[in-house]
Amino acid sequence: MEFPILSVILFLPLAGGLGLLFFPREAKQPMKVLACAVALLDLALTVWLYAAYDKSAGQMQFMERAPWIPSLGVQYLLGVDGLSLPMVILTALLTFLSLLYSVIVEERVKEYFFLFLLLETGMLGVFLALDLFLFYIFWEVSLVPMYFIIGVWGGPRREYAAIKFFLYTLAGSVLMLLGILVCYFNMHPHTFDMLQIARVQPLQGLLRLEGLVFWAFYIAFAIKIPAFPFHTWLPDAHVEAPTAGSVILAGVLLKMGGYGLLRVSLTFFPASAAAYAGIIGGIALINIVYGSLVALAQSDLKKLIAYSSIGHMGFVMLGVAAASTKGLDGAVLQMFSHGCITGALFLLVGVIYERTHHRDLWRFGGLGKYMPVYCGIFMFMGLASLGLPGLSGFMAELLVLLGSFEMAHTRWMACVAVLGILIAAAYILWTIQRMFLGPPNEQYADLPDATPVEIWSLAPLMVVVLLIGVYPQPLLRPIDASMALLANSLAGMLSP
Amino acid sequence: MALISTEVILLAGGLTLALVGAIKELRPRAFAWSAAAICVVAGVNASAGWWWLPFEPGQLPSWVTASIAADAFAIFFAIFASLAGLVVCLSAGEYLERREIAHAGEFFGLLLLALFAVCLLAAAADLVTLYLGIEFLGISAYALAGFAKRDPRSSEAGIKYFLVGAVSSAIMLYGMSLLYGITRATSLTAIGEYLLGVGGDPTAMGAAMLVLVGLGFKVALVPFHMWCPDAYEGAPTPITAFLSVAPKAGGFAALVRVFLLALPGLAWGPILAALAGLTMTVGNLLAIPQSNIKRMLAYSSIAQAGYIIIGLSVAPLSSFGVPGVLFYLMAYLFMNLGAFAAVVAVSNSTGSDEVSDYAGLMRRSPFLASALVIFFLSLAGIPPLAGFLGKLLVFGAAIEAHYYTLAVVGVLNSVVSIYYYFNVVRMMFMRPAGGGEPIVVERALYLAVVLALVGTFALGLFPHAVIGLAQAAARSVAARAPLL
């Protein structure tokens, strides 16, 4: 029997978390070491997975199938392809780095690390599951730890932000549940198998029903992405979450929405996806332009980065709306790249907040003189965020723009989307100027520069962003293999 | 004989405990463990009876089979009743001792007799047995609700429950007598055959509605729910737990039998669906402002009944309908009794049922706080817990029957319910502990909570066996349904 690598990757964090529960509350150091070790091991396994993955093949690989609830047609079905592989690597990487950064947490350590490990299993499960029942379970499982993380270790308005996040996202998820049930009952025999549903197309021809189900799924994903107008939970959740929580929230949880659009919406409902591509593209543009403009107006650094996430995820949506191979490639690459960049940016915010206990951009100034290393890293990530060529953000956004330009129905959208890049440059450069440049601010003269732990949490992300920006092929090849299959099947299903 | 032996065990056990209690006043804990043991025996017996199916129809004399349907549906509820009895008995011992409630023998005796009534009710094949079961269950429940005689709130709860229960039984009896008058039969299947043959009868619809009103009071559907919060708040907490599960289960068993066997041709589906929507919404919305956890759980139970009724309302149109009702009831047993057991534990230590006194519970008892979170998540329908599977089945039934609006109302209500459940969670995890010293949970109560946790996870992760049971039970009801 083949080694079930995916199950091990999936459940290792949970096992580690459960192991943590047996430690006494006072053994903080051993618990932190165990949690980081488990996360590092999981990351190593994902790297091994990447090495063993056949990068020229676009189909599902390493599939694991076992019957689970036969009376309902539910299977334990896992698999990885060019769409999920980058997401799995991203999840493992960001979780490890945020746990590494979290060694500074001293309050209620056991619960904190347990929740993060549980959350990691939830997120990995979403990306690995190929059975809708299993997919839904992991989708919901990732909500509960996040509620506690925001609510217990967060900022002054944490309770409000936590319950808002939970209720908002849950409302979308339950609508998705109804969509799942409709798909299930229209399959004969009833099954939750995602690959089968994509192949059989049970709702083909039932245009009204397919449209309803498409929008039910879309609302769930749109809340996660977050797409306008369902984005209002994001600024509160991000600002109030503790640093590591924001990293995971922005870096991975948002990607679940994009992943859902690609994995479910495009494959289950190609007709609706094509019919409503204009609307989705339009909303993507609102995200890009409006999100970036609101970011420009912010004075709280964390809120600025939160709104910039809305803008960048707009590019993912644009790629999905275009649905050409390049567009889809760009969407996936943008998800990976944005995860790394924004994850790093939130870690950087955490660093400065630990020292100054405020995030007001107008009160910073001249930090570059006292914290040169931090300044350097921040500038690097800022430039990546605005899409400087040579860094991953540019590569991803370029692919999205190319992909949407080559499709007739999204050509004008590509032209408008470029505005977003311009506005992003504005708010990033202005932020850098307000924070690091200008006359030195005496009150910050004693601030320590970035500590080794902080540097080690950020360095891997810098390396990845640079690598993908200069030579994206190692990641782009598997992505392209799968997205080419997806784009071709879409074109095939829509041609008369 | 094996198929009604569970009822006999419960009946005999109940009477024995009551007699012993009248003669010798033992410690409540002794009675609690004895009652729990009787429930285990009954449950094992019922499960063993499961393996004896399919049984030969000729095994029981005809005067028994005319009034009692000893089929898979009855066995399902026998197992259900045993489990409910086990968890409640384990939770009740210390509670009675701390509040110096006397006559523990009669207390547990009545409890077992009420469970006997649930089994009888679920096995009813005709109107008379049905009514007998409902009254037996009711009278036991009224007495139990008012059992803490020196607490005026308990007496008030008992009186309110009794008065409403008596009126609702009368209404239901009137509906039943109308049905008898139209069809000249008391056997449910015979009534159904007659009504199908006649092709529907407006008086029959009226009678059906009267029966619905009567049973609706028992199950606390909206707008027949007014007694519920007061009765639940006033009754001793283990009895509140019991009331939230056993009479509801009995009521649902009766509803399923009556509507599917006796009233097959009538158009009661949309009416039940509308009641379901109303019940869920009112129950969830009224739970939000509650500051007493027993009242909050009372309104939550009202809403949960709304979810369960969805399954029945679409039963003729979907194969998930009745199995959904049954599975949800089983899941509801574990999560609700577990939540109440945790409430009992907190109440034993702090003497309070106010949500604000749950502040910092995570500090004082991580076990209770974590258990409560699990039960609340399950009640709200978050996977991979039992409540989620229950909701999947009933909402799936609604979807299969194309009652899309009902399904949307249902899922949105699940979202609303998170708000008030997590109000308590917020108190437990995000507020500093006011009192201070850790809460030690007594052995039996600990066992009760652990049993409920195991059930909640087991039904959520490995539901196959119970789904199979539920489907077999549904088939056995359908087998008795009159054919066109």
Instruction: Assess whether pLDDT exceeds 70 at residue B48.
Output: yes
Q: Is residue A378 part of a domain?
A: yes
Which of A144-148, A465-469, B346-350 is predicted with the least confidence, judged by mean pLDDT?
B346-350
B183-216 core/surface letters (b: 16 or more CB in 10 A; e: else): bebbbbbbbbbbbbeeeebeebbebbbbbbbbbb
Of all residues in chain B, what percent carry a pLDDT higher than 70? 96
Q: How many domains does chain A fold into? A: 1
Quickly list H helices, B52-151: 62-67, 72-98, 104-122, 127-145
- Chain B CB contacts of A158 below 8 Å: 430
Residue B179: alpha-carbon gap to chain centroid: 26
Question: For position A440, what pLDDT does the model report?
Answer: 84
Q: Is A137 on the interface with B (CB under 8 A)?
A: yes
Which of A487-496, B112-121, B160-169, B244-253 is predicted with the least confidence, judged by mean pLDDT?
A487-496
Q: Is residue A496 part of a domain?
A: no
Residue range A341-367: average pLDDT? 91
Candidate from B407, B429, B463 with C-beta closest to A151: B429
Q: Quick check: B467 and A143 CB within 8 A?
A: no
Of all residues in chain B, what percent carry a pLDDT higher than 90? 59
Q: Quick check: B384 and A143 CB within 8 A?
A: no
Residue range A145-155: average pLDDT? 94
C-alpha to C-alpha distances, A440 to A364, A371, A372, A432, A434, nearest whole angstrom: 9, 11, 12, 14, 11
Contact status, residue B468 vs residue B327, Cβ threshold 8 Å? no
B333-383 tens-digit pLDDT: 999 999 999 999 999 888 888 998 898 898 888 999 999 999 999 999 999
Instruction: Assess whether pLDDT exceeds 90 at residue B201.
Output: no
* pTM of the predicted protein model: 0.94
Question: For position B26, what pLDDT does the model report?
Answer: 78
A226 upstream amide cis, omega within 30 of 0: yes
To test the contact with chain B by mutation, choose from A23, A71, A114, A138 the residue with the greatest count of B C-beta atoms within 10 A, namely: A71
Residue range A286-311: average pLDDT? 94
- Chain A CB contacts of B394 below 8 Å: none
Instruction: Assess whether pLDDT exceeds 90 at residue B411.
Output: yes
Q: Quick check: B471 and A71 CB within 8 A?
A: yes
Higher pLDDT, B432 or B212: B212
Q: How many CA atoms lie within 13 A of A110 on its CB side?
A: 13
Instruction: Assess whether pLDDT exceeds 80 at residue B219.
Output: yes
Contact status, residue A231 vs residue A169, Cβ threshold 8 Å? no
Q: What is the DSSP string of A244-272?
A: HHHHHIIIIIHHHHHHHIIIIIHHH-HHH
Q: Quick check: A69 and B422 CB within 8 A?
A: no
- CA-CA distance, A457 to A461, in Å (whole number)? 8
- CA-CA distance, A251 to A339, in Å (whole number)? 4
- Chain A CB contacts of B471 below 8 Å: 71
Question: For position B65, what pLDDT does the model report?
Answer: 72
Contact status, residue B311 vs residue B328, Cβ threshold 8 Å? yes
DSSP tag of B220 = T
Phi and psi based region of residue B440 (left: phi greater than 0; alpha: psi -120 to 50; beta: remaining): beta
Instruction: Assess whether pLDDT exceeds 60 at residue B56.
Output: no
Candidate from A72, A163, A175 with C-beta closest to B422: A163
- CA-CA distance, A14 to A117, in Å (whole number)? 6
Mean pLDDT rounded to a whole number for chain A: 92
Instruction: Assess whether pLDDT exceeds 60 at residue A363.
Output: yes
pLDDT band per the 50, 70, 90 thresholds, residue B53: low
A404-413 tens-digit pLDDT: 999 888 899 9
A to B CB pairs, distance under 8 Å: 75
Question: For position B45, what pLDDT does the model report?
Answer: 83
Q: Quick check: A174 and B414 CB within 8 A?
A: yes
- CA-CA distance, A378 to A435, in Å (whole number)? 10
Mean pLDDT rounded to a whole number for chain B: 89
- CA-CA distance, A68 to A77, in Å (whole number)? 9
| Chain B residues within 8 angstroms (CB to CB) of chain A | 377, 381-384, 388, 392, 395-396, 399-400, 404, 407-408, 411-412, 414-415, 418-419, 422, 426, 429-430, 462-464, 467-468, 471
A167-196 tens-digit pLDDT: 999 999 999 999 999 999 999 889 999 999
Question: For position B3, what pLDDT does the model report?
Answer: 58
- Chain B CB contacts of A68 below 8 Å: 464
Q: Quick check: A166 and B400 CB within 8 A?
A: no
Q: Quick check: A185 and B400 CB within 8 A?
A: yes
The whole-angstrom distance between A425's CA and the closest CA on chain B is: 39
Candidate from B396, B411, B418 with C-beta closest to A175: B411
C-alpha to C-alpha distances, B428 to B360, B362, B453, nearest whole angstrom: 5, 6, 18
Q: Quick check: B392 and A181 CB within 8 A?
A: yes
Q: Quick check: A178 and B383 CB within 8 A?
A: no
* Residue range of the domain that includes A454: 276-487
Q: Rounded to the nearest 5°, which phi and psi values hold at A157? A: -105, 35
Nearest CA in chain B to A169: B415
Residue range A331-338: average pLDDT? 96
Contact status, residue A137 vs residue B384, Cβ threshold 8 Å? yes
Residue B15: alpha-carbon gap to chain centroid: 22
- The Cα angle at residue A177 between residues A224 and B329, in degrees rounded to 5: 130
Instruction: Assess whether pLDDT exceeds 70 at residue A289.
Output: yes
Residue B427: alpha-carbon gap to chain centroid: 28
Q: Is residue A18 part of a domain?
A: no
Question: For position B231, what pLDDT does the model report?
Answer: 92
Q: How many CA atoms lie within 13 A of B201 on its CB side?
A: 19
Q: How many CB atoms lie within 10 A of CB B54?
A: 10
Q: How many CB atoms lie within 10 A of CB A368?
A: 18
B274-298 tens-digit pLDDT: 999 999 999 999 999 999 999 999 9
Of all residues in chain A, what percent carry a pLDDT higher than 90? 79
Nearest CA in chain A to B318: A185
Specify the DSSP element, H or E, that contains B398: helix B386-400
Q: Quick check: B419 and A167 CB within 8 A?
A: yes
Which residue, among B115, B144, B105, has the nearest Cα to B41 in the 3D structure? B115
Residue range A353-381: average pLDDT? 90
Residue range A439-449: average pLDDT? 84
pLDDT band per the 50, 70, 90 thresholds, residue A495: low
A126-140 tens-digit pLDDT: 999 999 999 999 999
Question: For position A202, what pLDDT does the model report?
Answer: 87
Instruction: Assess whether pLDDT exceeds 80 at residue B64.
Output: no
Instruction: Assess whether pLDDT exceeds 70 at residue B464.
Output: yes
Q: Quick check: B464 and A167 CB within 8 A?
A: no
Q: Quick check: A71 and B429 CB within 8 A?
A: no
Which residue, among B407, B381, B385, B387, has the nearest Cα to B396 in the 3D structure? B407
Nearest CA in chain B to A110: B366
Question: For position B174, what pLDDT does the model report?
Answer: 95
The radius of gyration of chain A from alpha carbons, rounded to an integer in Å, stands at 22
Q: Quick check: B399 and A185 CB within 8 A?
A: yes
Instruction: Assess whether pLDDT exceeds 70 at residue A360.
Output: yes
Question: For position B432, what pLDDT does the model report?
Answer: 85
Instruction: Assess whether pLDDT exceeds 80 at residue B435.
Output: no
Question: For position A130, what pLDDT does the model report?
Answer: 95
Tokens 């109000």 correspond to B423
Q: Quick check: B464 and A141 CB within 8 A?
A: no
Question: For position B59, what pLDDT does the model report?
Answer: 63
Of all residues in chain A, what percent carry a pLDDT higher than 70? 99
